[in-house]
Amino acid sequence: MSSHATITVEELKARLDAGEKLNLIDVREPEEVAYGMIPGAVHLRMGEIPARLDEIPQDEEVIFICRSSHRSDQVCQYLSSLGYKGVTNMIGGMMAWVQLPE
């Protein structure tokens, strides 16, 4: 059982469409990000997370994104184990995001 929250792509899109300011971190590799990112997301490769913890808010919601939600789930588990409070995994990743209707 995960110790962190999840969000669907539909829920995320609705929040972004409503103008909500969100902390989005895309943990994919550069060659994956080249195909596109969710507007407003920050690119922080999964492998860089341990060295760049100071760039990730500890007490705010932060939504993590990857290709299919496997790597972002691992990042969320890792950060939760360090005491981060608002880590959220986007279910389905960018594979689900690109399936959303315009």
Give the pLDDT mean for 28-51. 96
Name the band, by pLDDT with cuts 50, 70 and 90, for residue 1: very low
Q: Does the structure show a pLDDT above 90 at 5?
A: yes
**pLDDT one-digit tens code per residue, 6-31:** 999 999 999 999 999 999 999 999 99
Average pLDDT of the chain? 95
Which sequence spans correspond to the domains of the chain?
5-97
Q: Does the structure show a pLDDT above 80 at 45?
A: yes
Of 3.40.462.10, 3.40.640.10, 2.30.110.10, 3.40.250.10, the CATH number of 5-97 is 3.40.250.10
Could you tell me what percent of the chain has a pLDDT over 90?
Answer: 93
Identified catalytic residue from 56, 66, 75, 94: 66
Name the band, by pLDDT with cuts 50, 70 and 90, for residue 61: very high
- Is 76 among the catalytic positions? no
pLDDT number for residue 66: 98
Give the pLDDT mean for 41-60. 96
Give the C-alpha separation, 66 to 92, whole Å. 8
SS (H, E, C) the chain: CCCCEEECHHHHHHHHHCCCCCEEEECCCHHHHCCCCCCCCEECCHHHHHHHHHHCCCCCEEEEECCCCHHHHHHHHHHHHCCCCEEEEECCHHHHHCCCCC
